[in-house]
Amino acid sequence: MINKIFNFINKHLYLIIIIILIIQVSLIFSNQFIRMFNSDEFESIHVAWKISQDQSIYTDFFEHHHPFFYYLLVPLIIIGKSSILTLYLARLLIFVNLLFIYFITFRIASLIKDKYFALISLIILNNFIFFLTTATEIRPDNLQFSFCLLSVYLLLLFFKNKNNFVAFLSAASLGVAFLFLQKTIFFIAPIFLLFLWQKQKKKISFNSISIFIVGLLAPLIPYFIYLVLSGNLNIYIQNFWLFNLLLEVRQPILKFYFLLLITNILAWPLFLLGLIRARKERQQPFLFLGFISLFILLALIPTPFKLNQYYTAIAPLSALVAAFGFQHIIDRNKKIAALILIFLSVYPIAFLIAAQIKASNTEQLARVEYVLANTLPNDKVFDGANYFNLFRDDIDYLWFGLRYTVPTMKKLIGYEYDIYKLIDEKKPKIIWRSNLKLSDPRIKENYTFSEVYDDLLIRNKE
């Protein structure tokens, strides 16, 4: 009986993989509307809403990411009329972006191997749980990464045909990615090292490197000209580079990397196997992909934040290398390969189902709706943690992540933040109790606890 199952799997493997992918992607799609929202997703929506209200990003309110993603969300704010619908539309946009990531991953795999190999790569990609978690969220990382991945595809194409225009497009894709998020520098560095290595081996010319540099600068120069002409260059340096350099965040490194390892239980061993095989057989495209993945992994170790989205960028590249390792197992022992395929199929499906059941967004959306129902469009709200306020104005320039933004900005420019004074002056309709001293007369005399949520206070009628 077992042999018949293995024989059936081996005989219809191509069709089985397609069916598995359809099931997995269908669950991802349904998850977009059911799964809990990350606080960064609320940040993205709120920033876009502020822009739609004619507030100037960086000058009227604090933000330490590049602006392009937020401007893309503004039309969704308008279409969704600053309601829950906006969240669904944004998640739908991210799902379309995810399909693009799958497509480019498929194209890279087809370029260096074949379509059958490409399908295996997608199956393994969905086994990087940190990828499934963050690549489906409303965050600039995902648009940034799409252009990074496109750049890698064009780079491999350039190494294959030595077409300098392709090199220009590859670099321009990196430049566009940088406009979405400055973390693109972690991609730019290893790609430049690959170019220098190829130049040293006399496989590309200095002219190609020059064209690549021009392509990288092409999208960036207009943006920096705008920063200079608009007078925002100083605040750009302050909010994007100095702020992040001075940011003091301590997270348990060993715990994070331990979880990063065990939650992707088969993907990493297959990646290691693929890397060893690529080194042994001198498979240059897989060595390139493995080098970029390992470079980013090592470069991120010193960073203060240990977050899944920092590593999303390497998942497709690692999946391609892992698929190369898995193909070696298929060639050697089809029964073991069939067992591994069963695990690779079931594991992400189980995760996605559990996410729908255990991490529903019902309570989050109810809280957002409650705030909207109990405030007027011109009312101010104090949230401070991207917890519930999406479509109402804040009481200060610093409006989220106060636990780390306030001390960092104070150290950077001597920023003074007095929450009680702000509440007294701005009179927000709803405040989150957070770490507030409720005995302060400016709160005690003017606010009453919500009858629905015990961590929200509503301003008394005057």
Same domain, 281 and 379: no
How far apart are alpha carbons 157 and 393 in whole angstroms? 47
- Interacting residues of 216 by C-beta distance below 8 A, sequence separation 6+: 171, 172, 174, 175, 188
132 with 245, same domain: the answer is yes
| pLDDT number for residue 459 | 95
Which two tokens mark 97? 């972006």
Q: Are residues 123 and 260 in the same domain?
A: yes
Using DSSP, state whether 284 is helix, strand or coil.
Answer: helix
Same domain for 281 and 148: yes
The confidence score (pLDDT) of residue 347 equals: 93
Write the burial class of residue 334 (CB in 10 Å: 0-12 exposed, 13-18 middle, 19+ buried): middle
Q: Which residues are 448's β-sheet partners?
A: 458
Same domain membership, residue 108 and residue 37: yes
Positions of the chain with pLDDT lower than 50, given as ranges: none
* Domain boundary, last residue among 358, 383, 404: 358
Provide the number of structural domains found in the chain: 2
pLDDT of residue 355: 84
Give 222's Cβ-side CA count (13 Å radius): 7
Tell me the per-residue pLDDT of 248-264, one tens digit each, with 9 for 90 and over: 766 677 777 888 888 88
- Give the tens place of pLDDT for each residue, 342-376: 899 999 999 999 888 888 999 999 999 999 999 99
Same domain? For 335 and 367 the reply is no
Same domain, 49 and 128: yes
One domain, residues 174 and 66:
yes
**Dist CA 304 CA 404 (whole Å):** 12
Cα separation values, 159 from 146, 177, 354, Å: 20, 21, 42
For residue 368, what are the domain limits?
Answer: 362-459
Distance CA 171, CA 147 (A): 10
By CB atoms closer than 10 A (0-12, 13-18, 19+), residue 370 is middle
241 shares a domain with 153? yes
Asked which of 330, 358, 386 is the last residue of a domain, the reply is 358
